[in-house]
Amino acid sequence: MAYKTEHITRQIRAAREAMKMSQRELSTRSGLTQSHISQIERGTMEPGLSSLVDVARALDLEIVLAPKKLMPAIRNILESASITSDTLTSDQRKLVGRLDRWLAKIRDKFAIASEADTFKDSLALLRHLPLSADELDRLKDATVHLDRWQTDPPTRQELSEFVRAVRQLRNSAVHRDRDDAVPRSAYALDEEDDNG
């Protein structure tokens, strides 16, 4: 039996699996029973709108109504963003992970503890924000110092400057105009459909 929401439930399952989340964990986050989630994913139950919304939000997704004529543009934009994000995230995770490990080793070298905390907070955001190619290069450049600092520890001033540079990178990633960072798609959301 083909349900009207089959493509949505497939995406929900794919999102859950991509997050390496069990049905039980999704159950806890969404407020639905694990059995209910299992039935939705297997296609043995047509989910209600409120159940879909609860599950989607637990997976950090949103269900949105959009005009049908804009769907090609929306799909193109989502695919472009996904490709860009997936490409950069692997490098970002490696670099941020390296910085995290380095921070754990030298935490006591900071002049004040709050500076180490600020640095850790910046890393936490950089782990999740998609960076542009330029921003990723700046992060790579910042980590070049780490190799030298393994044998010759940084001065407190060098450490403060390094923390400031990483914080500025985080701030630019948080506040930049996302339209400039993602390549423009072949479609625009404000295009008119001449076919009526």
| pLDDT value at residue 21 | 92
Cα separation values, 132 from 88, 101, 129, 169, 181, Å? 8, 24, 10, 11, 6
pLDDT confidence bin for 93, thresholds 50/70/90: confident
| pLDDT value at residue 176 | 63
Domain coordinates in residue numbering, the chain = 6-58, 68-181
Q: In terms of pTM, does the model score above 0.85?
A: no
pLDDT tens track for 104-125 = 888 887 777 888 888 888 888 8
* Residue 59 and residue 19 in contact, taking contact as beta carbons nearer than 8 Å: yes
| pLDDT value at residue 12 | 87
6-58, which class in CATH? mainly alpha
Residue 186: pLDDT above 60? no
